[in-house]
Amino acid sequence: MTEDEFRPTNFIRQIVEKDLRLDQHTLVHTRFPPEPNGYLHIGHAKAICLNFGIAKDYQGQCNLRFDDTNPLQENIEFVESIKRDVEWLRVGWNGKICYASDYFNKLYQYAVELISKGLAYVDELSSEQIREYRGSLMLPGKDSPYRNRSVQENLLLFENMRNGHFNEGNACLRAKINMASPFMVMRDPVLYRIKFAQHYRTGHKWCIYPMYDFTHCISDALEGITHSFCTLEFQDNRRLYDWVLDNITIACHPRQYEFSRLNLEYTVMSKRKLNQLVKEKYVEGWDDPRMPTLSGLRRRGYTADSIREFCKRIGVTKQENYIEMTALESCIREDLSKNAPHAMAVIEPVRVIIENIDIGEEMLLTLPNHPNKPEMGNRKVLFSRDIYIDRADFREKAKKQYKRLVLGKEVRLRHAYVIKATRIKKDSLGRIIIIFCSYEAATLSRNPLDGRKVPGVIHWVSAAHALPAEIRLYDHLFNVPNPTAERDFITTMNSSSLVIKHGFVEPSLVEAKPEQAYQFEREGYFCSDSLYSSVDHLVFNRTVTLRNTWSKSGVKTSLK
């Protein structure tokens, strides 16, 4: 079968295929238009995969465009982070990067055209008065007292706005549409506002800036976009999108289509809320591994392949729903299960002394880097008298269901020997500090010679050779599936979303590259932290636990 036969279908692909079949378009041209006012999150990944995927599958083009019309919130840091994330997802854009700010001169001229046609006017109501005059869903709006100014007066006033003759908030440019429209967006929306702020690209050249709804449709048209995909909250805005393009002199008229945004459990997807978490220091930054940002997920150990697979599985629909976090975790587990090399690490160490091994004696063991992929090679690990095991892998007494080390009983060390716990040493507080054991030399990767079976297997590291490491155990950032449903989403934050442990890892992990993933056997999937880890201070982030408990669908249709 060809790749096309495996291609998922959805209502948007059906629209594109129909347009091509009817020769409405000969080339599909899409765009991904983020505002550079924050880092991209996994919801943007859904939009990226849709826009770039459509362009690739139908031999079209996709632009990367920054809708940068708000100088107060946008900066070059966000631009560079977005470029990195798009490149990381391996969905290259066509041609040069586009910016709405490149079109400021043209946008201004289109605003002048609307004024000249009597379709826009300068309003001197305050923002509070504009909201009051706009009415409500139950009540129609009422006309501004400035609505019927002459074309000549509006042209002069708009020029005065551009030249800085008004203070911020004292004037704006509004479209003249219908204050009684049942759609709030059509009740004389603001097209330009005054902001005496330096733009990161145009500096102080402008003191008036176009609104998103005015800019976006014109930018699409100027770039020759054929299909403008956006999320459902812009459904009503499509009327304004079409109104602007219908009333200016422009050759291209793209069509807007809406799909449901991504809602993911146990996190927030609002840039405003994510920005609050960063600004108020509830997280370390936009790339905190607990954040749903692509940079945060990447630092936590998620791969581009796993993100793209997740977006493929959840699909594209018009139905609002919540996706279970376990659906995302399933994608990274499947990826890392196939591709991550194995290693051993002890997160909460307790010392084990194997008394029938001579002091100073060492055995060099050969361990596979992946049990199912011999092509990934082997590694050498030293085994010695003193080792560390995880504290949770030992009990003085335990029931039969406990398959790890118990005082007086045996267990197998992973890739090594069978040991038996003979006695223990405790500190003054009664905490076990040493477990004394014996081993059977003939049991290296085999059962005892008398045929008895040792059911349990635990992992270990050599105390003399293992390297100390900081192990960061990450969990959900919030305690409830839908934090935005609460009055104050901050109150639902999980105080245990980050637990830091100090353990030991195999010596080979000193060479771990930033964000290099490993399966720490019996512990989970981890990666080297790209920010904090160094040769002198190893830091590993838990990407996800080993166990997969996600539901079959991974989708919850309720948004309550």
Summarised one tens digit per residue, pLDDT across range 8-43 is 789 999 999 999 999 888 999 999 999 999 999 999
Q: How far is CA 228 from the centre of its chain?
A: 23
CATH assignment at residue 146: 3.40.50.620
Angle at 165 between CA 164 and CA 169, to 5 degrees: 80
Instruction: Tell me the residue range of the domain where 128 lies.
Output: 3-259
- Structural domain count of the chain: 3
What Å distances lie between residue 178 and 119, 127, 153, 254, CA to CA? 11, 18, 21, 23
**36 part of a folded domain:** yes
Angle at 249 between CA 244 and CA 253, to 5 degrees: 60
Q: Catalytic residue, from 31, 35, 65, 176: name it.
A: 35
Mean pLDDT confidence for 236-251:
97
pLDDT number for residue 386: 98
Instruction: Read off the tokens for 2.
Output: 């060809």
Residue-wise pLDDT for 95-122, tens only, equals 899 999 999 999 999 999 999 999 999 9
Identify whether residues 160 and 17 lie together within a single domain: yes
CB 231 within 8 A of CB 259: yes
Instruction: Read off the tokens for 288.
Output: 């905190």
CB 470 within 8 A of CB 347: no
Identify whether residues 422 and 493 lie together within a single domain: no
**264 part of a folded domain:** no
pLDDT number for residue 497: 97
pLDDT number for residue 187: 98
Q: Catalytic residue, from 174, 238, 271, 290: name it.
A: 271
Residue-wise pLDDT for 129-185, tens only, equals 999 999 999 999 999 999 999 999 999 999 999 999 999 999 999 999 999 999 999
Which residues, in sequence order, are bridge partners of residue 32?
64
The residue among 426, 459, 492 that closes a domain is 459
Identify whether residues 393 and 278 lie together within a single domain: no
Identify whether residues 311 and 414 lie together within a single domain: no
pLDDT number for residue 350: 98
145 CB-side CA count, 13 A:
4
**37 part of a folded domain:** yes
pLDDT number for residue 6: 54
- Is residue 552 scored above 50 in pLDDT? no
Q: What does pLDDT average to over the chain?
A: 94
Identify whether residues 366 and 474 lie together within a single domain: no
Residue-wise pLDDT for 281-291, tens only, equals 999 999 999 99
Identify whether residues 504 and 416 lie together within a single domain: no
CATH assignment at residue 390: 2.40.240.10
- Is residue 86 scored above 90 in pLDDT? yes
- Is residue 327 scored above 80 in pLDDT? yes
Instruction: Read off the tokens for 87.
Output: 């490149």
Identify whether residues 292 and 221 lie together within a single domain: no
Identify whether residues 201 and 59 lie together within a single domain: yes
Identify whether residues 156 and 168 lie together within a single domain: yes
What Å distances lie between residue 180 and 81, 141, 184, 379, CA to CA? 43, 6, 9, 74
Identify whether residues 10 and 134 lie together within a single domain: yes
CA gap 203, 126 in Å, rounded: 26
Q: Which of 62, 72, 33, 71 is nearest to 219 (CA)?
A: 33
- Is residue 76 scored above 60 in pLDDT? yes
45 CB-side CA count, 13 A:
33
**227 part of a folded domain:** yes
The residue among 399, 433, 459 that closes a domain is 459
CA gap 16, 62 in Å, rounded: 14
What Å distances lie between residue 488 and 228, 482, 492, CA to CA? 34, 12, 8
Percentage of the chain surpassing pLDDT 70? Answer: 96
**215 part of a folded domain:** yes
- DSSP letter at 341 equals P
The residue among 201, 229, 259 that closes a domain is 259
pTM (2 decimals)?
0.93
**464 part of a folded domain:** no
CA gap 26, 342 in Å, rounded: 50
pLDDT number for residue 453: 86
35 catalytically annotated? yes
**265 part of a folded domain:** no
- Is residue 3 scored above 70 in pLDDT? no
Which residues, in sequence order, are bridge partners of residue 120?
175
**372 part of a folded domain:** yes
Identify whether residues 135 and 46 lie together within a single domain: yes
Residue 542's pLDDT band, with cuts at 50, 70 and 90, is very high
271 catalytically annotated? yes
Q: Catalytic residue, from 195, 261, 409, 522: name it.
A: 261
- Is residue 4 scored above 60 in pLDDT? no
290 catalytically annotated? no
- Is residue 468 scored above 70 in pLDDT? yes
Identify whether residues 75 and 113 lie together within a single domain: yes
